[in-house]
Structure formats: C-alpha cells, structure tokens
Amino acid sequence: MQTELIRIDREHIPFSVMERAGALLQAGGLVAFPTETVYGLGADALNEEAARKIYAAKGRPSDNPLIVHIAERKALERIAEKVPKEAEALAEAFWPGPLTMILSKKECVPQGTTGGLSTVAVRMPADEIARELIRQGGGYIAAPSANISGRPSPTTAQHVYEDMNGRIPLILDGGPVRIGLESTIVDLTEGRPVILRPGYITLSMIREVAKEAEMDRGLTADDSNIRPKAPGMKYRHYAPKAELCIVEGPMERVISYINKNSAGSKTGIICTEETKGCYVNGDVKCIGSRKDEVSIASHLFAILREFDADGVERIYSESFDTPGLGQAIMNRLLKAAGHQRVDAADAEL
C-alpha cells in the first residue's frame, strides 16, 4: 500500500482534503491525524471491520480497547449511557481537550472497538484538524496513538510515517503536537472518578470539578499484583531499543553518577537546559527546561526515537518530578525504562 502524507496549513484547513480523508474513513479505511496530545490512527468507531484494521496496522493486542473521538458534545449521548453528573461537569470544564472519560457503552458501539468491554472511552480533542476530520468522517472516530504497538507515541507526522509507511493510505501532517503526552483517562463507571492514566489534566485540576476524584491504585502501587485498570497500561510501552535507566536524587549526585557511568560507552543522556553543560561523555540530549514542563513533555517521545536512530546502547535520564505534569511525564518515562531507576544519593561515586 502507498502511504500519502499531506501537509495541512492550520490557518487554512483545506476542505477538499478533509472531505477526501473523511470519505476514506466512512468507507472503512484508516487515516492518521494530529491531535493536541499525540498523533492518532483513526477509523470509523461504529464499523467493527474498520476498527479491527487498526489492531492489524499497529500490531496491537485485541484486548486493548480504543478511544472514540467526537467533535460535538451531543455526540456523547449516542454512544454512552448513564452519563453521571460528574462526567457532564468534566466535559464542561475540559472539552474540547486532553481528557478521556470511560462510560457505559451503548449497543451501537461494537465490541471490536472496546476490546470486548461493556464500557467505552470517549474524548473530544481540541485540535482543529482532528475535529474537522471527525465531522467529515461521520462523527465517531476510534483512534489509538499512531505508532507500532510498544514504540514511543508519535508527536510528528514523520514519526507516524516511520511506523506506518506501507500500512495505511493517508497521514495528515499538522506539524508537531502541542502537549506530547496522551490524554488523561478518567473512569466514571464506578461511583467516584478514578484516573487510570495521568496526563496534561492533573488530579488537582480534576478535583476542582469532582472533589472525590482519585488515582487508580494500580498506577501508584509498587505491588505488581495490583493491576492497572486501563488494559493498555499493563503493556511495556514507549520502549526505546537501548536500555533506559532513570537516575534520581540531588542534582549534583545525579550528574556525577551519570558522568561516572557513561565513560567510554555508547551512552545517551536525557538532561535539561539547566544541566546540559555538566555532562562530559556520551550523546547528550536536552529535553527542555525545568521552568517549562510542557517543553519536557512534548520532547520526551521524540528523544526516545532519536536515540533509536543514533544507535546508543544505554540511556540515562534525569528524573522530572515537576509539580503539574511531572506525574504524567514520570509515568511514561518509567514505563519506557521498564521501571529501572537508581538513587544517586545511595550510589558509590
């Protein structure tokens, strides 16, 4: 299959291209498109056959459900039942935007979209290209991140092309995404709202609207017997080819530890504007500034892909427990590292 990559000018979104992309979706085809979080791989969510093509293109396990993307608030009632008042309030506060809600599904949503579950994940993205595509594609677009399963999520159309060339007919290129980490997922089917995946919308933002909200215990527990509730959170994810290790502790000790362990090897280092001058060996990449957490979030997946291209054998990363987005950044980074971390405070230097 030939994969076409079309650059979209955000100032003048071309109707003819969007109409053609929408027709492809309505005919059961796949189209990759930008959102404010990461690029998505879209299919008609109400067409089981089309949704199944997503699993084949990504190599995704079929028990891992898809998020249904909508463009209008009223579309929610067509696919979800028993929408609780907290869900209404969260939609009011954060849609369109990087928030996904898990709700009871209606009959019209096929099991092929929800991985066999009786619930459905719904999100209304803010990106204008995404919203126009959803409208043209019939209003209900299932879209996981547009990467091969297990690889870092794509934050540019080039990342999508690397993974999906030859597998899908069309990629809409809207430039680099704004946030760079997938949406916050909140489960609203069990009484109090529970965050299943941290993202740009933080627990404290959600608590301003729904006071009772909490984090899924499977996300914070070190006990691996407590399983995360979002099926996708149990898979090793975002993994670069090299082994990745997160170095924690006071910054001077982190720098000394990494300098000591990176001599003479093909080592990658993930650091910040504040520390990039302190490293003496290796392939040093600056992820962003500690004063601007979005800069760190939006470069994480791209940096992991760059290290794959550079062919490093080991990567050390500083830790990014920043106040707002820190939890989401560390969630993705720890997954990419297969939870390998060292505390430089205790290490011999």
Query: For residue 269, which of 330, 310, 213, 314 has the smallest C-alpha distance?
Result: 314
C-beta of 65 vs 137, nearer to ligand TXA: 65
What letter would DSSP give residue 169? S
CB of 314 to ligand TXA, least distance (A): 27
| Cα 64-175-302 angle, rounded to 5 deg | 60
C-beta of 102 vs 254, nearer to ligand TXA: 102
Mapped onto helix, strand or coil, the DSSP state of residue 197 is strand
Q: One symbol per residue from 53 to 72: x for binding Mg ion (CB under 5 A), - otherwise; what is it?
A: --------------------
> What CA–CA distance (Å, rounded) separates 33 from 202?
25
Query: For residue 91, which of 186, 212, 220, 215 has the smallest C-alpha distance?
Result: 186
Task: Candidates 47, 100, 262, 317: give the one binding ligand TXA (CB under 6 A).
Answer: 100
Mapped onto helix, strand or coil, the DSSP state of residue 213 is coil
Task: Candidates 231, 249, 324, 326: give the one binding ligand TXA (CB under 6 A).
Answer: 231
Quote the crossing angle between the two packed helices 157-164 and 293-310, to the nearest 10°: 40
Per-residue tokens: 283: 């392939």
Stretch that binds ligand TXA, among 5-13, 70-78, 213-221, 227-235 (CB under 6 A): 227-235
Residue indicated by tokens 């060292």: 342
Q: Which of residues 63-82 bind ligand TXA (CB under 6 A)?
A: 64-67
Can residue 114 be called a binding residue for ligand TXA (CB under 6 A)?
A: yes
Q: Which of residues 308-337 bind ligand TXA (CB under 6 A)?
A: none
Query: For residue 93, which of 213, 1, 265 has the smallest C-alpha distance?
Result: 213
The residue sitting closest to Mg ion, measured at its beta carbon, is 145
Can residue 154 be called a binding residue for ligand TXA (CB under 6 A)?
A: no
13 by Cβ neighbours in 10 Å (0-12 / 13-18 / 19+) ranks as middle
Torsion angle in degrees (nearest 10) through CA of 87, 93, 94, 100 = -10
Can residue 331 be called a binding residue for Mg ion (CB under 5 A)?
A: no
- With a CB cutoff of 8 Å and minimum separation 6, the contacts of 220 are none
Amino acid at 199: G
CA 191 to the chain's CA centroid: 26
Stretch that binds Mg ion, among 143-151, 191-199, 270-278, 302-310 (CB under 5 A): 143-151
Q: How many residues of this chain interact with ligand TXA, rule: CB under 6 A?
A: 29
Residue indicated by tokens 């000591």: 260
Can residue 145 be called a binding residue for Mg ion (CB under 5 A)?
A: yes
Binding partner of residue 240 among ligand TXA, Mg ion, none, CB under 5 to 8 Å per kind?
A: none
Can residue 255 be called a binding residue for ligand TXA (CB under 6 A)?
A: no
Stretch that binds Mg ion, among 51-59, 144-152, 167-175, 192-200 (CB under 5 A): 144-152
> What CA–CA distance (Å, rounded) separates 262 from 250?
18
Q: Report yes or no: 156 and 302 within 8 Å, Cβ to Cβ.
A: yes
Can residue 298 be called a binding residue for ligand TXA (CB under 6 A)?
A: no
Can residue 40 be called a binding residue for ligand TXA (CB under 6 A)?
A: yes
Can residue 35 be called a binding residue for ligand TXA (CB under 6 A)?
A: yes
Can residue 37 be called a binding residue for ligand TXA (CB under 6 A)?
A: yes
Binding partner of residue 233 among Mg ion, ligand TXA, none, CB under 5 to 8 Å per kind?
A: ligand TXA
Q: Which residues bind ligand TXA (CB under 6 A)?
A: 35, 37-38, 40, 64-67, 98, 100, 102, 114, 117, 119-121, 123, 125, 143-145, 182-183, 185, 196, 230-233
Point out which residues bind Mg ion (CB under 5 A).
Answer: 145
